[in-house]
Amino acid sequence: MILVSILGDFHSSIFPLYYEFKENISRHIVVHDDAFSEIRKSKSILDSLNEFNKKHSLNIITEDFQLDEDSLKSIEKLIEKLKEYDTLLDDIFINTTDGLANIGVVLASKLLEDGVKLLAYDMHENSYNLTAKDSMKNILIKSSIPIEDHFLLKGLVIESEEDMSFANKHRSQIIELFESYANEMEYMKKDISKLTTINRSKYQRAFQLVSNMGLDSVKHSKIITGGLFEYYVYLLVKDLGFDEIKVGVKIHQKLNNEIKVENEFDILIMKDNHLHMIECKFTKYPNSQELVYKYSALINLIDDDGRIMILTNETDYGNDIYNKQNLKLRNHRRAFLNKIALRGSILKNKNLFLEDVEAMFL
């Protein structure tokens, strides 16, 4: 199988089909326009594909083909190249998903008659159309890209992640901690953050539960003040039917060979080849503006069609963003327009939270 992928605006949309057919592909041609930004994008994708192939021991010849999308003669050079590989052209599949429309139109008009087939991935239904000269089929994607490979194909590397077996092992204690002693957790978090014990008498039961899990207030301060809440949220959503979940994921992206840009995500969830995130802030007074701006900038780093939910410990779980009288909701409105849900405490609103999760991510 020769796969031809035409790069467009949503370049990661080529990956679900590439992953689906990876065992059958002998040659992969990445087609892009000759604009500087497209050349740069193509180089990044080729590097990522080569790393992916190396990891999975895939013997796929990967190459790029640069053309001028506004030139018929330039597109015809691609056609000449394809005919050099297979005179019958039956084994060539062109992925037109989000690609430059003009290229796809020309290739279809000149190659469908000869047996070439077109692929078009639907990111919203996780399916693809397979179009031949006299037929078209809609086929569901069978494979789900693992989160680690999703990042690898986007040129990102997972440095570390939290051990979810800890959460599963101590499930009952973690749930009891937040559903019965959340107020005590707030006092304990203040003391641990300030390296004091002045409020110890106010969180004795929470402290005992944490100790029973083998956690030390100094050695494991980061887990107690933030990680446990991430584990609690993970335990609530882990059985809802996601393809994969990771907690406390640190990634890096290379700026050059010497400089890396790092980011950290609390909970990552993969569903139907789309990666989403839940940010967990166990605080009543979060800097909502900072959080919304931060994740509005990072959302495309996660996925072209990813969504983010930010959880805090504010009293109100949800707000009516269309209420003209409430002038304090500008951050909630900005979040909504960037595919981000800004939410308050889930401790007394667990059912609303789970409904939100299903509506946003499933």
Mean pLDDT of the chain: 95
Across the range 88-112, mean pLDDT stands at: 92
Task: Say what the pLDDT of residue 327 is.
Answer: 81
Could you read off the pLDDT of 90-101 as tens digits, one per residue? 899 999 998 888
Q: What is d(CA 42, CA 304) in angstroms, rounded to the nearest whole number? A: 17
What one-character-per-residue DSSP string does 182-245 give? HHHHHHHHHHHHHT--TTGGG-HHHHHHHHHTT--TTTTHHIIIIIHHHHHHHHHHTTS--SEE
| Res 85 pLDDT > 90 | no
Fold (CATH) for 157-361? Trna Endonuclease; Chain: A, domain 1 (3.40.1350)
Which has the higher per-residue pLDDT, 85 or 148?
Answer: 148
Inter-CA distances, 247 with 195, 226, 278, 295, Å? 26, 12, 10, 17
Across the range 311-324, mean pLDDT stands at: 93
Give the confidence band of 13 by pLDDT, cuts at 50, 70, 90.
confident
| Res 312 pLDDT > 90 | yes
Q: What is d(CA 273, CA 15) in angstroms, rounded to the nearest whole number? A: 9
Inter-CA distances, 79 with 61, 101, 114, 236, 295, Å? 18, 16, 11, 52, 42
What one-character-per-residue DSSP string does 120-139 give? EEETTTTEEEEEETTEEEEE
CATH 3.40.50.10770 range(s) for the chain read 2-143
Across the range 70-92, mean pLDDT stands at: 90
Give the confidence band of 106 by pLDDT, cuts at 50, 70, 90.
very high
| Res 8 pLDDT > 90 | no
Half-sphere exposure of 128 (CA within 13 A, CB side): 26
Task: Say what the pLDDT of residue 9 is.
Answer: 83
Buried b (16+ CB within 10 A) or exposed e, 70-80: eeeebbeebee
Give the confidence band of 355 by pLDDT, cuts at 50, 70, 90.
very high
% of the chain at pLDDT higher than 90 = 90
Query: 3-class SS at 158?
Result: strand
CATH 3.40.1350.10 range(s) for the chain read 157-361
Give the confidence band of 290 by pLDDT, cuts at 50, 70, 90.
very high
- pTM reported for the whole predicted model: 0.94
Task: Say what the pLDDT of residue 255 is.
Answer: 87
Q: What is d(CA 292, CA 298) in angstroms, rounded to the nearest whole number? A: 10
Ordered strands of the 308-311 beta sheet: 156-160, 244-254, 260-271, 274-280, 308-311, 340-343
Could you read off the pLDDT of 16-73 as tens digits, one per residue? 999 999 999 999 999 999 999 999 999 999 999 999 999 999 999 999 999 999 999 9
Q: Tokens 């509005």, residue?
A: 296
Give me the CATH code for the 2-143 domain, please. Answer: 3.40.50.10770
| Res 220 pLDDT > 90 | yes
| Res 191 pLDDT > 90 | yes
Give the confidence band of 178 by pLDDT, cuts at 50, 70, 90.
very high
Across the range 262-274, mean pLDDT stands at: 97
Q: What is d(CA 270, CA 268) in angstroms, rounded to the nearest whole number? A: 7
Give the confidence band of 280 by pLDDT, cuts at 50, 70, 90.
very high
Inter-CA distances, 223 with 23, 167, 190, 247, Å? 41, 11, 14, 12
| Res 86 pLDDT > 80 | no
| Res 88 pLDDT > 90 | no
Going by C-alpha positions, the residue among 176, 189, 177 that lies closest to residue 221 is 189
Give the confidence band of 182 by pLDDT, cuts at 50, 70, 90.
very high
